Amino acid sequence: MSVQEQIETLIQKFPIFEYGFLKPSQIEFSEKVRTICRTECSRYNTSWSCPPAVGSVETCRKRCLEWQDAFFFSTVHEVSNVMDLKEGARTRSSHEELTDRIEQSIRALGLQTWRLSGDSCNVCERCAWPDTPCRFPDRMHPCIEGQGILVAKLAELCGMDYYLDAGTQLWFSLIFYKRSSHTKQ
């Protein structure tokens, strides 16, 4: 069974809405996404998981290209108004917990992983940036868009929905993976 088939088997027990597999070289990076981070996101310059701490878009692109494959998935959550960011944020923790479990399951296959999430890292109540190093570098999860990645394009590439309707919140995660030297092919 291929690694992709193994992952498809293990995710059957998780409440994933849609998913796809892709090569890191297929991912589109854009300076425009970074501009939106800088000008519109309240998390900019507040976390080790976001710009500027994560480095330039080119640095992020090179980091992503070090991985062999990526697994992209979404979860779906009922909300009264998808434009209400506070309400949407309340649905995030269950998505992140699910992402943790999926990442652990992929690691249990003997694969190395690196995970990006739909928002900045929420492991600590208050991020250590910029005064002290990240407290949990093994658990921290950068934001997908903070890497300069166009999430809508990722969804399109994988044949997934990026938006459903005003009463539905979609959260996305991207888990890069590669074989450890001891993993069977």
Q: Which of 44, 48, 172, 177 binds ligand SF4 (CB under 6 A)?
A: 48
Complex with ligand SF4: residue 13 or 139, whichever CB lies closer:
139
Q: Is 54 in the site for ligand SF4 (CB under 6 A)?
A: no
What are the residues whose beta carbons fall under 8 Å from the beta carbon of 67, sequence distance 6 or more? Answer: 24, 114, 176, 177, 178
Nearest approach, Cβ of residue 88 and ligand SF4 (Å): 19
How far apart are alpha carbons 185 and 154 in whole angstroms?
27
Q: Is 128 in the site for ligand SF4 (CB under 6 A)?
A: yes
Contact criterion met (CB below 8 Å) for 99 and 173: yes
Q: Which of 3, 27, 57, 140 binds ligand SF4 (CB under 6 A)?
A: 140
Q: Is 124 in the site for ligand SF4 (CB under 6 A)?
A: yes
What backbone torsions phi and psi does residue 110 show, to the nearest 5 degrees?
Answer: 90, 20
Nearest approach, Cβ of residue 165 and ligand SF4 (Å): 32
Q: Which of 56, 136, 163, 164 binds ligand SF4 (CB under 6 A)?
A: 136
Residue 58: is it exposed, middle or buried by C-beta count within 10 angstroms (0-12/13-18/19+)?
Answer: exposed
Q: Which stretch binds ligand SF4 (CB under 6 A): 16-24, 46-54, 162-170, 175-183?
A: 46-54
Complex with ligand SF4: residue 11 or 174, whichever CB lies closer:
174
Nearest approach, Cβ of residue 23 and ligand SF4 (Å): 27
Please choose, from the candidates 138, 168, 185, 177, the residue with its C-alpha nearest in 3D space to the C-alpha of residue 74: 168
Q: Is 44 in the site for ligand SF4 (CB under 6 A)?
A: no
How far apart are alpha carbons 21 and 110 in whole angstroms?
18
Please choose, from the candidates 24, 27, 26, 21, the residue with its C-alpha nearest in 3D space to the C-alpha of residue 4: 21
How far apart are alpha carbons 166 and 162 in whole angstroms?
12
Report the interface residues with ligand SF4, using CB under 6 A: 47-49, 121, 123-124, 127-129, 134-136, 139-140
